[in-house]
């Protein structure tokens, strides 16, 4: 059985997915990791995918699907958590038609209101030197603008500027809403409130599962 985990950028999806893997024995498949694995492994699929990525193009759906199938086969018999897929309605429908053992049993939407997401994302500051991340209100560095770990200056990733965050969220909602509707119609959709501490959200998530 597959559990699809969805959530906007900043909703805390990655953290929750990691906990499910650690504590519940899920195998996580994220399309981003899957792509990197195939490329690193020098597989045929990886080679084809990197040709698109080098040109700055999106990896076509059909190729992404082949990669996904290969990853799914590798974890046959396990509980699978799908992260970052399906991203649109076409992908959701394709996934549905794959095979009985890959049926989506639950589609969980980690829901955080967009005002909150904008605050979470736009407050992030990153250290270019060591990669540590801080937050202007939730996880302040000891000295304003300076990395606690290595003493380098902190910067805001261009992606995290308020305007760009808003655009990212709008794009995300537009493509995801039809996916959520699809899973609602299948009766497997569950909304989980993503506000609160990591552990609070995690226990809601467990209940939903
Ligand atoms: Zn640093």
Distance in angstroms (rounded) separating the CA atoms of residues 163 and 34 = 30
Residue 28 Cα to ligand 1 middle (Å): 29
Residues that are catalytic: 13, 87, 124, 157, 168
Residue 161 Cα to ligand 1 middle (Å): 20
Distance in angstroms (rounded) separating the CA atoms of residues 184 and 168 = 24
- Backbone phi, psi, residue 53, to 5°: -70, -35
For 39-83, how does the pLDDT look when each residue is reduced to its tens digit (9 = 90+)? 899 999 999 998 988 887 888 888 888 888 888 998 988 999 998
- Backbone phi, psi, residue 64, to 5°: -60, -40
Distance in angstroms (rounded) separating the CA atoms of residues 8 and 113 = 9
Residue 150 Cα to ligand 1 middle (Å): 4
Contact 14, 114 (CB under 8 A): no
Distance in angstroms (rounded) separating the CA atoms of residues 90 and 81 = 19
Distance in angstroms (rounded) separating the CA atoms of residues 196 and 87 = 26
pLDDT at 199 over 80: yes
Non-local (6+) Cβ contacts of 115 within 8 A are: none
The crossing angle, in degrees rounded to 10, of helices 162-186 and 89-96 is 30
Tokens 């059985």: give the residue: 1
For 138-157, how does the pLDDT look when each residue is reduced to its tens digit (9 = 90+)? 889 999 999 999 999 999 98
Alpha-carbon distances of 125 from 74, 148, 160, 161, rounded to whole Å: 37, 12, 9, 10
Q: Partners of 28 in the beta sheet?
A: 81
Please tell me whether the overall predicted TM-score, pTM, comes out greater than 0.75 for this model. yes
Domains and CATH numbers, the chain: 2-26+79-113+173-208 (3.40.50.300)
> How much is the pLDDT for 7?
92
For 84-134, how does the pLDDT look when each residue is reduced to its tens digit (9 = 90+)? 889 889 999 988 888 778 889 999 999 999 899 999 889 999 998 998 989
Residue 126 Cα to ligand 1 middle (Å): 8
């Amino acid at each position: 059985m597959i559990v699809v985990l969805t959530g906007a950028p900043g909703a805390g999806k990655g953290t929750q997915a990691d906990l499910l893997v650690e504590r519940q024995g899920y195998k996580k498949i994220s399309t981003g990791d899957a792509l990197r694995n195939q490329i690193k492994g020098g597989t045929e699929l990886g080679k084809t995918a990197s040709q698109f990525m080098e040109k700055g193009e999106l990896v076509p759906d059909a190729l992404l699907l082949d990669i996904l199938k290969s990853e799914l086969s590798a974890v046959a018999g396990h509980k699978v958590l799908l992260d970052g897929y399906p991203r649109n309605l076409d992908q959701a429908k394709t996934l549905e038609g794959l095979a009985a053992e890959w049926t989506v049993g639950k589609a969980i939407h980690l829901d955080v209101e967009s005002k909150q997401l904008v605050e979470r994302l736009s407050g992030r500051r990153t250290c270019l030197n060591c990669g540590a991340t801080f937050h202007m209100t939730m996880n302040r560095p000891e000295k304003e603008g300076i990395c606690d770990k290595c003493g380098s200056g902190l910067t805001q990733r261009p992606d995290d500027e308020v305007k760009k965050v808003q655009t990212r969220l709008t794009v995300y909602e537009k493509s995801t809403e039809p996916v959520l509707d699809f899973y609602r119609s299948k009766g497997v959709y569950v909304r989980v409130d993503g506000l609160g501490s990591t552990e609070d959200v995690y226990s809601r998530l467990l209940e939903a599962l």
